Amino acid sequence: MADLQPVRGTHDLLPEEMRAHRRVSDLARGTAGLHGFDEIATPIFEFTNVFARTLGDTSDVVTKEMYTFEDKGGDRLTLRPENTAGVCRAFISNGLAQHAPVKYFYSGPMFRHERPQKGRMRQFHQIGIELIGAAQPLADVEVIACGRAILESLGVADDTVLELNTLGDTESRNAYRAVLVDYFQDHIDRLSEDSRDRLTRNPMRILDSKDDGDRKLVADAPIFSDYLNQESQDFFGAVTGGLDALGITYKLNPRLVRGLDYYCHTAFEFTTEALGAQGTVMAGGRYDGLIGMLGGPETPGIGWAAGIERLAMLSGVMPEADRPIAVVPMGEDAERRALTLVRDLRKAGLRAESAFSGNMKKRMKHANKINAVVAVILGDEELSRGVAQVKTLDDGTQREVALDRLADDLSVALSQG
């Protein structure tokens, strides 16, 4: 039945895939913590204006991809298509300017109504960091270095390339925008319909166009770096110098842009050729005008976001579940004792399970089915002596262990492999 299938563009994360996702988020969370980023969680939905303002009312995300609805109170709400806007809104709402600079890590689901494809779903998951309140170029270095360290922790850094560009300050962007408009105006008959609209509203977005005709024009468009003032050049020089000092290699990409006005200075992406057409695994940049645009105090910021699905695919690691201890009681007295035995093993930090019914053969079959590392066999005779038989299922060896030492004994034995 159609109504018993997941909605198109969504899917269930069953245990194996969930472990792969959890590995990405846990390693990222730990590495971000080492860099001083504390975790934050914002609501999955916000007032629509939070995203309409920050993403631009002409962007594809706003016009085509946002899941927007009116709630019972008449408010226009939107499931978050990204999380930077939500984090910045939280910065304003909670009066955090007095604590700036602040460093945040997040992990969670995002929602965009776009054509589902490999590594990109309508409900997808991202990790990300935001450093708010630091205008210095070393903040950019810190954010990029943290991203690189997370890729290293996942074992995928060598499969990625850091692409880097500068968007300059407001003066530089205005100078570049003027020559860009002149260039595309001379070729307006060859522009796509969407890009003709962008030309009057936000010409830099044309540089992001996926239209083949637009891309041919973009290839010959003026280069941003030719219009950078000295201050912008110095800022970018400090960023690249910091990356050089850390031994983080990068490739300059003059076509890497962010179309919205609140972006400035550093723009970057970690890309890969290992995932086919979907080559970006982590993307970020400096957004000094975003918090002011939302109505807060003018506050600098920089951050990045990365897709958990793509990172899990790129790493190719499918972690196995911890192998449990199977408690196999035989007889009513043993079943009652097994309840407290399983509890005590779990209190000791050991994964323990017991089948709910069946004879010895069925219970041992269950132990093998759940891939137990050992079976703790407990019958009337063992109970009378206060012991259990511990059988290692991989090699069939068996030994006797006192019940009051069982948790300690298994903790040591399993820690030693």
255 is annotated as contributing to ligand binding: no
Whether 294 and 331 map to the same domain: the answer is no
Q: Is 84 annotated as a binding residue?
A: yes
User: Same structural domain for residues 15 and 121?
Assistant: yes
Amino acid symbol at 56: G
Q: Are 227 and 172 in contact (CB under 8 A)?
A: yes
CA distance 152 to 323: 27
Q: Are 361 and 309 found together in one domain?
A: no
112 annotated to bind ligand: yes
Same domain, 105 and 243: yes
**Any binding-site annotation on 385?**
no
38 and 119 assigned to the same domain = yes
CATH of the domain at 353: 3.40.50.800
Confidence of residue 24 (pLDDT cuts 50, 70, 90): very high
Could you say which of 261, 284, 315 is where a domain stops?
315
% of the chain with per-residue pLDDT over 70: 96
CATH number, domain with residue 247: 3.30.930.10
Per the CB < 8 A criterion, the answer to whether 250 and 162 are in contact is yes
Q: What's the rounded Cα separation, in Å, for the pair 11 and 116?
A: 11
Which tens digit of pLDDT belongs to each residue from 146-179?
A: 999 999 999 999 999 999 999 999 899 889 889 9
User: What is the pTM (predicted TM-score) of this model?
Assistant: 0.89
User: How confident is the model at residue 415, as a pLDDT?
Assistant: 84
- At residue 213, the pLDDT reads 87
- Which of the residue ranges 56-70, 203-217, 377-391 would you say has the lowest mean pLDDT? 56-70
Residue 128: beta bridge partners? 106, 305
| 236/89 same-domain check | yes
Q: Looking at residue 224, what DSSP letter applies?
A: G
Structurally, how many domains does the chain consist of?
Answer: 2
**Which residues form the domain of 44?**
2-169+229-315
Cα–Cα distance measured from residue 312 to residue 119, given in angstroms and rounded to the nearest whole number = 9
Choose the final residue of a domain: 295, 315, 335: 315
> Do 258 and 361 belong to one domain?
no
130 is in an annotated binding site: yes
89 is in an annotated binding site: no
pLDDT band for 278, please (50, 70, 90 cuts). low
Is 335 within any annotated ligand binding site?
Answer: no
Integer Cα distance of 15 and 108 in angstroms: 17
Environment class of residue 379 by beta-carbon count within 10 Å: exposed (0-12), middle (13-18) or buried (19+)? middle
Domain end marker among 315, 345, 361:
315
- Of the candidates 64, 69, 78, which has an alpha carbon nearest to the alpha carbon of residue 114? 64
Say if residue 82 carries a ligand binding annotation.
yes
Report the pLDDT averaged over residues 290-317: 94
Q: Is 258 annotated as a binding residue?
A: yes
